[in-house]
Amino acid sequence: MGDFKLTSSAFEDGGEIPRECGYKHGNEEPPLSSSGIPEGTKSLALIMDDPDAMEPAGKVWVHWVVWDILNIDGPLSTKRICKLGTTDFGKVGYGGPAPPDKRHTYVFKLYALDCALKLAAGESTKADVEQFAPYIFCIHLLMCILHIQNIFLAEIALFSTSFPRFFSREFKTAFIFSNIFFNVL
């Protein structure tokens, strides 16, 4: 399970994010790939958000919510069978980086779940997907930095953790939300 990863062919550590991925510059989904999917994974979920939006927007801004992604190593594509949720732009699907004030960090979170999420496509949000935390048994983060001056720099900060099956769902939920989301980001 320790090999579970989310990567992008579009940006490397210290590289540039393609301009076309920005909300105002084409809004194209960045190419992402998964590998090392843990045994027992029934589906994958992906959330992209901007924790640096707290100051200008008053909340962590959600850019992309995808679930029921086929649990196949390789490229993640919303053209495959999956469901897309509503972003904070008020639209279904991908909403690229658009920092309003300064450099922002964008976090891609790939979840390995031991169930398929029974959520309606289109109207579901990040909060709906995160209610399934007890079913998450592996997570990997990929972070990108975006500058407002139209200079797209990427830093990849890789973090992954796996949970042996003998840990309770309550323990996994508490660990994920207290240690990963609040301390790492």
The stretches in the chain having pLDDT less than 50 are 1, 148-161, 163-168, 170-185
Cα–Cα distances (Å) from 98 to 52, 122, 161, in that order, read 11, 22, 29
Sheet hosting strand 74-76, strand order edge to edge = 5-8, 32-35, 74-76
Amino acid at 97: P
pLDDT tens string 110-151: 899 888 888 888 888 888 888 888 878 788 777 765 654 433
Contact 132, 68 (CB under 8 A): no
pLDDT, position 183:
32
Nearest to 141 by CA among 63, 55, 16, 47: 47
In the chain, the domains with their CATH numbers are 5-125+138-184 (3.90.280.10)
